[in-house]
Amino acid sequence: MALVELRNVSKIYHLGGEEIRALDDVTLDIEEGEFISIIGPSGSGKSTLMHILGCLDRPTSGTIRLDGVMIQSANPRELAAIRNRKIGFVFQFFNLLPKLNVLQNVELPMVYSGVPARERHRRAMEALEAVGLANRCKHRPSQLSGGQQQRAAIARALVNNPRIIFADEPTGNLDSHTGEAILELFKQLSHEGRTIVLVTHDPEIAAVTPRRIEIRDGRIAEKLDLTLAGLDRPGRAGAASTAGNS
C-alpha cells in the first residue's frame, strides 16, 4: 500500500456559472520515502493538487488515502489533526509568524498536538539543529535572511515527524545560491528516508528529484522517471523535455 493513493480525483470550482476543472481525474501513488516533484505552469492545477494532498482541501470527487486514512470523508477536525501530525508544509513565502521568535514558530505544530512545554522546547531545538539554525532560535523571523527563514520553516515542518513533507516553491523567493542550499537540505532529508513532495514551476528545480509529475490543465500530462528517460544528470535536459511538450 502506497503512502498516498489518489484515485480519479477531480476538483471543480464554479466561478460565475462557469465550471472550472482545477483537477481532472487524477490518479497517483506516492510511496513512502519517495522524493517527488510536481511541476507545471501557474494555473495548471498543481497548487490545487498540493492542497488536496496536504489535506487543506477536499476533492469534489474521487478518493484519496493518506497513510491509511480516507481523506475525502474526514471531517475538518480530523483534517486538522492529519495536517498537524502526518504532514509538514514548506511555503514559498516561509509563512513564519512574525510576532513569534524562531523557536516559538517551530514549536507551533506541537502546541496543537498537545506536546508538553519542555518536550516542545527539546524537540524544536533538535529540529533547529538539524537545519543548522539552533544559534538563531531567539531571533524574530524578520531578523533572519530568506534562507534562514526557510530553514526555520523546514524545521517547523519536521518537528512533528510527519509522514510526508510538501514544499510549495520552496526556493521561489530565494536567490539561486540560497535556493540551491535549500534544495541540498531537501536532498539530505530525502536521504534520511523522508517522503518529500516538491511543487514547482521550474523544471530545473524539479530535476533534483528522481520522480517528476507534470500537471497541465488539471491532468497528469507526463510521468517522467529520470533513470528511465536516461537523464542521469539533473538540469537542462529535464527542462528541455518539459519545454518540448508545451
Q: At 94, list the grid cell.
A: 516561509
- Ordered DSSP codes for 64-130: EEETTEESTT--HHHHHHHHHHHEEEE-TT----TTS-HHHHHHHHHHTTT--HHHHHHHHHHHHHH
Cβ closer to other proteins: 87 or 208?
87
**Residues 190 to 229 in contact with other proteins, rule: CB under 8 A:** none
* Part in contact with other proteins (CB under 8 A); list of ranges 14-22, 25-33, 113-121, 142-150: 113-121
**Residues 114 to 133 in contact with other proteins, rule: CB under 8 A:** 114, 117, 122-123, 126
List 26, 34, 37, 83, residue binding other proteins (CB under 8 A): 83
Q: At 107, list the grid cell.
A: 514549536
Report, in angstroms and rounded to the nearest whole number, the Rg of the chain calculated over CA atoms: 18
Q: Does 134 bind other proteins (CB under 8 A)?
A: no
Q: Shortest Cβ distance from residue 121 to other proteins (Å)?
A: 12
* Part in contact with other proteins (CB under 8 A); list of ranges 18-26, 160-168, 174-182, 230-238: 160-168
φ, ψ (nearest 5 deg) of residue 84: -70, -40
Q: Strand 18-30 and strand 4-15: pairing?
A: antiparallel
User: Rounded distance, CA 4 to CA 34, Å?
Assistant: 11
Q: Does 13 bind other proteins (CB under 8 A)?
A: no
* Part in contact with other proteins (CB under 8 A); list of ranges 83-91, 185-193, 222-230, 233-241: 83-91
Which strand ranges, in their side-by-side order, compose the sheet holding 35-39?
87-90, 164-168, 195-200, 35-39, 211-216, 219-225
How many binding residues for other proteins (CB under 8 A)?
A: 38
Cβ closer to other proteins: 34 or 57?
57
Q: Count of CB atoms within 10 A of residue 46's CB?
A: 26
Q: Shortest Cβ distance from residue 69 to other proteins (Å)?
A: 6
Q: Does 2 bind other proteins (CB under 8 A)?
A: no
- Applying CB under 8 A, which residues contact other proteins? 51, 54, 56-57, 67, 69, 74, 76-78, 80-86, 89, 91, 95-97, 99, 108-109, 111-114, 117, 122-123, 126, 156, 159-161, 163
